Amino acid sequence: MNKYLFPIYAIAIGVIIAYLTRRQKTVYTKLLLSFSGAFLLALTLFDLLPEVYEHLDAKRTGLFIMFGILLQIILEFFSKGAEHGHVHIHKDGKRFPWLLFISLCIHSFLEGFPINQHNDMVYGVFIHKIPIAALLTSFLLQSMQVKEKAISFILIFTAMTPLGTLVSNTTSIAPEYLTSINALVIGIFLHISTTILFESSEGHKFNLSKLVAICLGILIAYFV
């Protein structure tokens, strides 16, 4: 049951963080973002990547991973990088950000697939979603005059990862195709996590606190 609930918990925690810090900018969200990027990357390399290479032809695996990277680049063309903490929404509040909404939902739906076969990945998704949800919620509430739209956006976004896990768990998709989807998701995770790490500091310079956060993310992922 946790594999369905943890992504929901993550969004709830992110919303609470956004509410508590709505009147001030905090460095802790950026530190959490750095930690989440390192944790997700390490967990992908330690847990998900070896299993995919074990069950698929190496060249086919690499091909699907590259497809995942390209897919994430395409999604970010529409979301403007919201998956790794860059949220840019017009301040007029009149137009619903459909491209952002659709791209984030596709991303969230796909990242739910590996959770069914790899329970440890739910922790990576959990940690990844908290700072993203906090930043997304903050920008939505500031940018959209009709708060009901922002709330609907967040609720549907929250449901997409558990929905992906449910589809993976209940539909009769051949194991080979599920593994191929997991390879695709690896590409998505690799792109997002490395982007977070390289862009986690202004001017691409690491300070000590962010370096510690990254090292902790890798270390904890190793022992999960």
**pLDDT for res 17:** 87
Q: Is the dihedral of CA 97, 188, 48, 29 positive or negative?
A: negative
* Contact assessment for residue 133 and residue 15, using Cβ atoms and an 8 Å cutoff: yes
What confidence score (pLDDT) does residue 77 get?
Answer: 87
Q: What integer pLDDT is reported at residue 49 of this predicted model?
A: 93
For residue 141, what pLDDT is reported? 75
CB 80 within 8 A of CB 133: no
Please state the pTM of the whole predicted model: 0.88
What pLDDT is stored for residue 200 in this prediction?
54
Give whichever of 16-30, 113-127, 174-188 has the largest mean pLDDT. Answer: 174-188
According to the model, what pLDDT value does residue 183 have?
Answer: 95
Q: Which two tokens stand for residue 133?
A: 């949800």
> Residues 47-66: pLDDT tens digits?
999 999 998 899 999 999 99
CB 56 within 8 A of CB 105: no
Task: Answer yes or no: are the C-beta atoms of 216 and 35 closer than 8 Å.
Answer: yes
Residue 184: predicted pLDDT: 96
**Confidence at 41, pLDDT banded by 50, 70, 90:** very high
Residue 179 host element (H or E): helix 175-198
Note the pLDDT of residue 123: 92
Q: Where are the beta strands (DSSP E) in 73-215?
A: none
Q: What is the pLDDT of residues 112-139, one digit of tens each?
A: 999 877 778 899 999 999 988 888 888 7
- Reported as a pLDDT band with limits 50, 70 and 90, residue 172 is confident
Whole-angstrom Cα distance, residue 148 to residue 40? 32
- CB neighbour list of residue 156: distance below 8 Å, 6 or more residues apart: 101, 105
Provide the phi-psi class of 204: left if phi over 0, else alpha when psi is between -120 and 50, else beta.
Answer: left
CA separation for the pair 117, 98 (Å, rounded): 31
DSSP 113-142: HHHHH-TTHHHHHHHHHHHHHHHHHHHHHH
Q: How far apart are CA 172 and CA 174, in angstroms?
A: 6
Q: What is the mean pLDDT of the chain?
A: 85
Asked if residue 108 has pLDDT above 90, the reply is yes
DSSP character at residue 47: I
